[in-house]
Chains A and B, each alone.
Chain A
Amino acid sequence: MNILLVLFGKLLSTISRFFNLGSGSTWPGHLALLINKNFIKDLLKNSKIKVILVTGTNGKTTTGKLIQTVLEKSGKKVFQNASGANLLNGIASSLLLHSSILDKINYDYAIFEIDENILPFILKEITPDYLILLNLFRDQLDRYGEVNTITKKWQKALSKLSKNTTLILNADDPQIASLRRHLEGVNIKFFGIDSKNNTEKTQHASDSIYCPNCGEKLTYISTYFSHLGDWICKKCHNKHPQETFTSSPFYPLSGVYNQYNTNAAVLLAQALGFDKEKITASLKGFKPAFGRQEILDIEGKKAQIFLSKNPTSFNESLRTIASLNAKTILIVLNDRIPDGRDVSWIWDVEFENYVDSFEHIIISGERCYDMALRIKYANSLKNQKIAIGQFNNLTIEDDLRKTIKISLSKIDTKQTLYILPTYSAMLEVRKILTNKKIL
């Protein structure tokens, strides 16, 4: 049965790409699941492939790519689902496209980034060898609901976890680390970051500063960003796990959040038995996933894209580009389904700490005026100048192509334009920037 589905799916995907109907990264799997709802289970049953699942609000794609890089450097055959194709149909498609026509999977490892909301469904289909839980921040409340709801679903799904699965948890995220409760006999490893150089004051969009166990307000010995840090509950003594891996030999990307992604990937690689030198060497050759600190060269000028899709990722993008001394930034805010239709979250971003340090702020996207308002109110000018809309460093333009032209005109050769887009905006920006003829 699956042989036919695989064949049929591959054919469909080829046709789809040939006629430019899309990359075929979700719907062949969608069809396969419609015809055989056990498609994923059946296909994996006959295979020796090791499966690594990565989920969490932020960092899935980058962490997956880091793991892939390390494994491939060691000569392993690895595939990963297409970024963003992280629902059941995306996983099924990815398996389908990487199966031979005899429905055999001739790979050593499959890495799947999983949408945090569907992890419970995936765990019914797949018994992973490794499951990495990165973090939970507020993100697209219109679609996902609240952080607590997701944690509850996860806790329930994990209670049925196979003893063959190794769990890799973020020790610094109290919601994630507290999932270890009620999981006796499960192999759990923790990653975090080194407290020495990362302490920050708590930002506004903190979701989990209350003990997931008893509801008491948590005490933080140090905070790194949002609700991540060295935490302890003084009431029920739930606390940050002691044995935590925090020291990757090398960090290929800037930003505190990427220290987490890297440490998660390196911890996994170590668990798989790879030695430190190999890991270091492969991290040094790492190329970022598209839109995640990816640098594009445009006629001698540089554009670096920092996908910024929720308050935490936006805050961390701002912190990172500020540390890179960014002067000209382009923000693109869309409100399509992959971005979240509600743009309220931009008011949870700490623009106040950064706007004054930028020389030019250019804004585009379907909700550019909402973003412009946010910047207007984040400006520290106390006088009427800002109130009456005369801020000389703000450009608003809803035509994205035009915006990119304007933005590039504001920087000199060898300077960098820092672009902070939401998800769908990132895809559009890339499309324009990589098609150089247009500029």
Chain B
Amino acid sequence: MNYKLTIGWLYPELMSTYGDRGNIVVLQKRCEWRGIKTKIKRLDLGFNLNDLKSCDLLFMGGAQDRQQKIVANDFAKEKIKALKDMVESETPGLYICGAYQFLGKYYKEADGTIIPCLDILDLYTVNPGANHPRLIGNIAVELQGVNTCSPSRCNCSYTLIGFENHGGRTYLGKNIKPLGKTLVGFGNNGNDKTEGAFYKNSFGTYLHGPILPKNPLFADSLIRLSLEKKYLPHQKAGGSPTINLSPIDETLENKARSAIAKRLNVKL
């Protein structure tokens, strides 16, 4: 089968700090190396709704406050609705840091001001103010949000390795589950040991690094989910994997992962 994926990159110009575009590079290359054709659709300010709807996988990175305000202004009602529909209909997506917060219900500033967000995911974020330190450092997370097994190999337990750097503390509502359990680091809020969130095939996380290069099985899961959603539309979300991706050598990935895991005293 000649697979083809359209990857939608939401606001590459504005929502892209901390090397987040590395995630796009990884998704694209891991597809190409397997003969899966990819098209990267850059969805910048004023993007066309049909372009968004044509995507099989979505990605949005973090941003500076000012940039995020510009994006918020660009997110007109019909854009929010279209994105919400895609999330509800199980289009896979990865949302990092600022984007993760942005998909929630609201962001509460230190002075109590409530900034409404897109209200797509059942979560909210609180900025506790300048007296509380930003949550910064290397982080290890036991992945719970997605099955990283493939029909040919089982990796049911997988540890995500990354770097977090956020002032906001995120709390999850009833209708959403954490992406994983924080083993070392702060995660969503530094208290409840949760990190990130997943709802259907949408994944939010605070992990930079960027997240995908050092967590190739998570990257492959996103690719697999996108292919399954596109080519096997009747398969239920969260079911066991059916499409088998050919393996890619992970020597370098494993060395990069274990270098950090060793420092954090985490077993991979």
- Convert B1-44 into 0s and 1s, putting 1 for each residue whose CB lies closer than 8 angstroms to a CB of A: 00000000000010011111110011001001100000000000
Interface centre among B16, B19, B25, B26, by most chain A C-beta atoms within 10 angstroms, is B19
Cβ of B82 < 8 Å from any Cβ of A? Answer: no
Query: Contact: B213 with A345, CB < 8 Å?
Result: no
Kindly identify, within residues 242 to 268 of chain B, every residue whose CB is under 8 Å from any CB belonging to chain A: 248-249, 251-253, 255-256, 259
- Which of B63-71, B109-117, B179-187, B193-201 is the interface stretch? B63-71
* Total cross-chain contacts (CB, 8 A): 101
- Residue numbers in B under 8 Å from A384 (CB-CB): 33, 248
Distance between A335 CB and nearest chain B CB, rounded to angstroms:
9
Query: Contact: A344 with B163, CB < 8 Å?
Result: yes
- Residue numbers in A under 8 Å from B248 (CB-CB): 384, 387-388
- Residue numbers in A under 8 Å from B127 (CB-CB): none
Query: Contact: B18 with A389, CB < 8 Å?
Result: no
Cβ of A146 < 8 Å from any Cβ of B? Answer: yes
Kindly identify, within residues 186 to 211 of chain A, every residue whose CB is under 8 Å from any CB belonging to chain B: 204, 206, 209-210
Kindly identify, within residues 167 to 198 of chain B, every residue whose CB is under 8 Å from any CB belonging to chain A: none
Chain B residue at minimum C-beta to C-beta distance from A388: B249
- Contact flag A373-B67 (CB < 8 Å), given A142-B165, A342-B208, A387-B249: no
Give Cα A345–Cα B18 distance, bound, in whole angstroms. 5
Query: Contact: A341 with B136, CB < 8 Å?
Result: yes
- Convert A38-55 into 0s and 1s, putting 1 for each residue whose CB lies closer than 8 angstroms to a CB of B: 000000000000000000
Query: Contact: B45 with A346, CB < 8 Å?
Result: no
Cβ of A284 < 8 Å from any Cβ of B? Answer: no
- Residue numbers in B under 8 Å from A389 (CB-CB): 249, 251-252
Chain B residue at minimum C-beta to C-beta distance from A398: B259
- Contact flag A210-B66 (CB < 8 Å), given A142-B165, A389-B249: yes
Query: Contact: B214 with A373, CB < 8 Å?
Result: yes
Give Cα A309–Cα B137 distance, bound, in whole angstroms. 19
- Residue numbers in A under 8 Å from B259 (CB-CB): 366-367, 369-370
Distance between A145 CB and nearest chain B CB, rounded to angstroms:
8
- Residue numbers in B under 8 Å from A358 (CB-CB): none
Cβ of B209 < 8 Å from any Cβ of A? Answer: yes
Query: Contact: B17 with A141, CB < 8 Å?
Result: yes
- Convert A345-377 into 0s and 1s, putting 1 for each residue whose CB lies closer than 8 angstroms to a CB of B: 111100000000000000000110110111011
Distance between A13 CB and nearest chain B CB, rounded to angstroms:
33
Cβ of B210 < 8 Å from any Cβ of A? Answer: yes
- Residue numbers in A under 8 Å from B208 (CB-CB): 342, 344
- Residue numbers in B under 8 Å from A376 (CB-CB): 252
Distance between A45 CB and nearest chain B CB, rounded to angstroms:
33
Query: Contact: B256 with A372, CB < 8 Å?
Result: yes
Interface centre among B13, B64, B138, B251, by most chain A C-beta atoms within 10 angstroms, is B64
Chain A residue at minimum C-beta to C-beta distance from B32: A382
Give Cα A369–Cα B250 distance, bound, in whole angstroms. 12
Cβ of A432 < 8 Å from any Cβ of B? Answer: no
Q: Pick the residue among B18, B19, B65 that contacts A148 (CB under 8 A).
A: B65
Query: Contact: B33 with A373, CB < 8 Å?
Result: no
Give Cα A377–Cα B214 distance, bound, in whole angstroms. 12
Query: Contact: B214 with A370, CB < 8 Å?
Result: yes
Cβ of A232 < 8 Å from any Cβ of B? Answer: no
Give Cα A387–Cα B64 distance, bound, in whole angstroms. 34
Interface residues on A, range: 35 or more
Cβ of A147 < 8 Å from any Cβ of B? Answer: yes
- Convert B61-104 into 0s and 1s, putting 1 for each residue whose CB lies closer than 8 angstroms to a CB of A: 00011110110000000000000000000000000000000000
Give Cα A374–Cα B255 distance, bound, in whole angstroms. 13
- Convert A104-120 into 0s and 1s, putting 1 for each residue whose CB lies closer than 8 angstroms to a CB of B: 00000000000000000
Query: Contact: B66 with A148, CB < 8 Å?
Result: yes
Query: Contact: B165 with A342, CB < 8 Å?
Result: yes
Give Cα A210–Cα B103 distance, bound, in whole angstroms. 23
Give Cα A369–Cα B254 distance, bound, in whole angstroms. 9
- Residue numbers in B under 8 Å from A344 (CB-CB): 18-20, 22, 163, 208-210
Kindly identify, within residues 389 to 423 of chain A, every residue whose CB is under 8 Å from any CB belonging to chain B: 389, 396
- Contact flag A373-B256 (CB < 8 Å), given A141-B165, A215-B66: yes
Query: Contact: A373 with B210, CB < 8 Å?
Result: no
Give Cα A382–Cα B36 distance, bound, in whole angstroms. 11
Chain B residue at minimum C-beta to C-beta distance from A348: B19
- Residue numbers in A under 8 Å from B65 (CB-CB): 146, 148
Query: Contact: A373 with B165, CB < 8 Å?
Result: no
- Residue numbers in A under 8 Å from B33 (CB-CB): 382-384, 386-387
Distance between B231 CB and nearest chain A CB, rounded to angstroms:
22
Query: Contact: A146 with B17, CB < 8 Å?
Result: yes
Give Cα A142–Cα B18 distance, bound, in whole angstroms. 9
Query: Contact: B45 with A377, CB < 8 Å?
Result: no
Give Cα A138–Cα B70 distance, bound, in whole angstroms. 19
- Convert A122-158 into 0s and 1s, putting 1 for each residue whose CB lies closer than 8 angstroms to a CB of B: 0000000000000000100110001111000000000
Interface centre among A149, A204, A342, A367, by most chain B C-beta atoms within 10 angstroms, is A342
In the assembled complex, 7 residue pairs joining A and B whose CB atoms fall closer than 8 Å, in A order, are A138-B17, A142-B136, A215-B69, A342-B208, A347-B210, A377-B29, A377-B213
Q: A342-B208, A344-B209, A384-B248 are in contact. List 15 more A-B contacts (CB 8 A).
A: A142-B136, A146-B17, A341-B137, A341-B138, A342-B18, A344-B22, A344-B210, A345-B18, A347-B20, A372-B252, A382-B32, A383-B33, A387-B29, A387-B33, A389-B249
B interface residues, Cβ below 8 angstroms from A = 13, 16-22, 25-26, 29, 32-33, 45, 64-67, 69-70, 136-138, 163, 165, 208-210, 213-214, 248-249, 251-253, 255-256, 259
Q: Considering the complex of A and B, which 6 residue pairs feature the smallest CB-CB distances, nearest first? A: A347-B22, A347-B19, A369-B256, A344-B19, A388-B249, A387-B33
